[in-house]
Structure 1
C-alpha cells in the first residue's frame, strides 16, 4: 500500500505531470511526432530500394542498347527473338519438355 502512494505522490509533482504530457504530445500528437517520423523513414527506405531497382534496370538497358548498336547485335536479336533467318538457312527450334509445361499452364 505504501508503494501505491509513492507512485501517486510522484504524479502530484507539477514537473512530472508536465514532462509526461510533453512526452505524450511529442510521441503522438505533434507534427514532428515519432509516428510520423517512423512512417517517413519507412517510405524513404522503400524509395531507396526502388531507386536501386531502377538504377539496375537502367544499367541493363544501357548494355542492351550498346549491344544493339552493332550489326552483330541486331542480327543476334532478330535470330533469337523473332526467329528470322537468311535466305539460304533453315532454323530448327528445339523445345524441352519442361518448357512445354510452362507454356501450357
Structure 2
C-alpha cells in the first residue's frame, strides 16, 4: 500500500489555496488529509484539491471531501480516466463540488 503524501500551496489574493495529494487516501491517513484541508481553508472560502495523482480513495476520504464541500467552494482536479473520477460521480461529489479533469 502506497502512503499518501499531502502538501498545501497557499494561494495569493487571486488564487485559492491548493492541496495536492499523491498516492492512496484511506482510513489510515484520512485524518492527516482532513487536517491539511482544514489548514488550507483557514481564512479562505475556496479550496482546490488536486487528486490527479491519487490512485485510491475509500469512503473515509469521500466523507472528508463532502465535509469540505459543505462549507467551502471546493474544486477537485482529477485524471481524465480512472477510479477517482468514477468514484466522484458514483458518490455524488461531482454534484456538490466542481470537478476539473486533467488530460
For Structure 1 versus Structure 2, the TM-score category normalised by the shorter chain is under 0.3
The structure with the largest strand share of the pair is 2
- The structure with more radius of gyration: 1
Higher relative contact order (CA 8 A, sep 6+): 2
The structure with the largest helix share of the pair is 1
